Amino acid sequence: RLGLSAVCAIPLIVRVNFYGAARLYSASSETFRDPTLLHQLENIAARISVALETQLDQNRLRLLSAALATASNAVFITGRDGRIEWVNEAFSRLSGYTASEAIGQTPHFLKSGEHDAGYYRELWETILAGRTWRSQTTEKRKDGALYTVRQVITPIENEAGVITHFISMHEDITEQLAAQARVQRLAHYDALTGLPNRSLFFERLSQAITLSKRSSEHIALLFLDL
C-alpha cells in the first residue's frame, strides 16, 4: 500500500540481551541483497546498541546516586587508598563534618580510640581481599562526642576484577545501645538505691560457680546482715 518492497530488521543487543530491533524499509526489493550495505547497517545497529547501553548505565547511575544521597544511613565512598571521594547528607548530619571537610581525607578523623590497631588491620585485610566487612564501630563526631554505628564496607571492582573503591555504610545505633543498657540496668539494679539486685547476684554467682568448676578452684561466699 505504501510502495515498499523490502524490509530489513537488525536486532539491538544490550548486554547480550535482545533489547529491540532497528527496522529499515525500501521501495526496491533488491536494496538489502547487497552484503556491503548489510554490513554497514549491522555496524550502525551495533553503535545504537552501545549508545543504548551507555544511556541505561547513566540512568542507573543517576538512580543509584539519588538513592545513596537521600539514604537515611550515612554513606561515604573512598578510593582504594582510603581517601574519601563522596559523602551523603546523612554522613554530614551524623559525623558533624561537611562534605568539603571530609572529601580528600581518610576516615582516620573519625577514630574514637576505642579500637586497637588489630581491629583496623583485620578490616583492611578483609576488604583488600575483596570481602565485605561488617562490624559494630565506635566513631567520634566533630564535636568530640562518641557514637556507635553498625558498619558495612563493600569493595567495588572494575571490569578487570581490580578493587578500585570502597562503599561504607554507617547505621547509627547509639540510642539503641543506650536503650538496651537502660533495660539491663533496670533488670539488675534497684531503681531507688542503685544497688545490684537479686537477679544480678544470682547471675554473678552462677558465673563464678561455672568458672570455679572449670578451673577446679573454690569459691568463698560471705553474707553480711545489714
72-106 pLDDT tens trace? 899 999 999 999 999 999 999 999 999 999 999 99
pLDDT of 162: 92
Least confident of 26-35, 61-70, 146-155, 192-201: 61-70
Residue 194: pLDDT band with limits 50, 70, 90: confident
* CA–CA dist 136, 115 (Å, integer): 10
* CA–CA dist 77, 86 (Å, integer): 5
**Is residue 225 pLDDT above 90, yes or no?**
no
Residue 25: pLDDT band with limits 50, 70, 90: very high
SS3 at position 141:
coil
Residue 193: pLDDT band with limits 50, 70, 90: confident
Least confident of 19-23, 59-63, 87-91, 128-132: 59-63
* CA–CA dist 26, 3 (Å, integer): 9
* Average pLDDT along the chain: 90
The average pLDDT across 148-161 equals: 92
* CA–CA dist 151, 169 (Å, integer): 6
Yes or no: say if 75 and 88 are a contact pair by the CB < 8 Å rule.
yes
pLDDT of 67: 67
What is the per-residue pLDDT across 99-145, written as a single tens digit (0 to 9) for each?
A: 999 999 999 999 999 999 999 999 999 999 999 999 999 999 999 99
